[in-house]
Amino acid sequence: MKFAYTGIEVKDMNRSIKFYTEALRMEMLDRHLIRETGGEVAALKSKDSPQLLELNWYPESRYHEGSELDHLAFEVEDVNDQIGKLTKMGAQVARETEVRSKYIVGFLKDPNGIWLELFQARK
Amino acid sequence: MKFAYTGIEVKDMNRSIKFYTEALRMEMLDRHLIRETGGEVAALKSKDSPQLLELNWYPESRYHEGSELDHLAFEVEDVNDQIGKLTKMGAQVARETEVRSKYIVGFLKDPNGIWLELFQARK
């Protein structure tokens, strides 16, 4: 179980990428469409920092003031096992677990209502 | 200019520390009171990850659904110089620059209204 990156929701992907790469000098590691949702995702980091920031854009945005914090992501070995443990310790299930092409992904809410993504690489 | 950590606001510091350390198995690197505000801050990371998460608690909380994303933090060489550059590229000043005991700290808003902390170690 390790904290993998912070994901924020953005209103306009091009504008946010321009700001984070040109103004804040971050590097874009990856940008791709999400076939399942029609959304888009970009991964950014600064040259001398290991901290990762993910920008998320959704075609049917739920963006409103305050929804910028999309999720905190944790890599785990067994998503369902962790969901069982974490819901006993104060987390709530936010969305049904999804089996995607490369990952199994679950979403919980922490005690502040912050979405936590748990992802597990498929073998 | 490098992305240093993600800070979230929490409603109850003890409850959030318990959840992030016991349920999500993160390690607490630091926890201390902020003399200037009467608030409290804690720094967390997972054992095998360099990603840092900061929990922030304020005595006069501005917490409401969606305000969980407190700020993204960037370490810079010259806060005032960066504020000048970034405001020309779409950022807005969120708070007056503060000279604290160890750091000079400025706050901007990015194009999504997300608070960006710029901090510079005092020489």
Per the listing, tokens 């069982």 go with A84
CATH 3.10.180.10 occupies which residues in chain B? 1-67, 76-123
A69-123 is classed CATH 3.10.180.10: yes
The reported pLDDT for the residue numbered B65 is: 66
pLDDT-based confidence at residue A27 (cuts at 50, 70, 90)? very high
B88, B94, B97, B102: CA torsion to nearest 10: -110
Is A90 exposed, middle or buried (CB count within 10 Å of its CB: 0-12, 13-18, 19+)?
middle
Q: Tell if the CB–CB gap between A8 and B69 is shorter than 8 Å.
A: yes
CATH 3.10.180.10, domain A1-60, yes or no: yes
Contact of B78 with chain A, judged by CB distance below 8 Å, is answered with: no
Residue span(s) of chain A under CATH 3.10.180.10 come to 1-60, 69-123
pLDDT tens for A95-107 read 899 888 888 999 8
Cα separation, B58 vs B10, in Å, equals 8
d(CA A2, CA A112): 19
In chain A, which residues have their Cβ closer than 8 Å to the Cβ of B24? 1, 3, 74, 86, 116
Q: What is the pLDDT of residue A120?
A: 94
Q: Which CATH architecture has domain B76-123?
A: Roll (3.10)
What was the pLDDT predicted at B80? Answer: 94
Return the closest-CA partner of residue B53 out of A43, A4, A82.
A4
Is A58 touching B (CB cutoff 8 A)?
no
3-state secondary structure of B87: helix
Indicate whether B75 pLDDT > 80: yes
Chain B residues with CB under 8 Å of A85 CB are: 23
Q: Does the interface predicted TM-score (ipTM) exceed 0.90?
A: no
In this structure, CATH architecture of domain B1-67: Roll (3.10)
Q: Predicted confidence band at A44 (pLDDT cuts at 50, 70, 90)?
A: very high
Contacts of A45 in chain B (CB under 8 A): 3
**Tens of pLDDT, residues A60-112:** 877 666 667 777 788 888 999 989 988 888 889 988 998 888 889 998 887 77
Nearest by CB to residue B49, choosing from A4, A11, A12, is A4
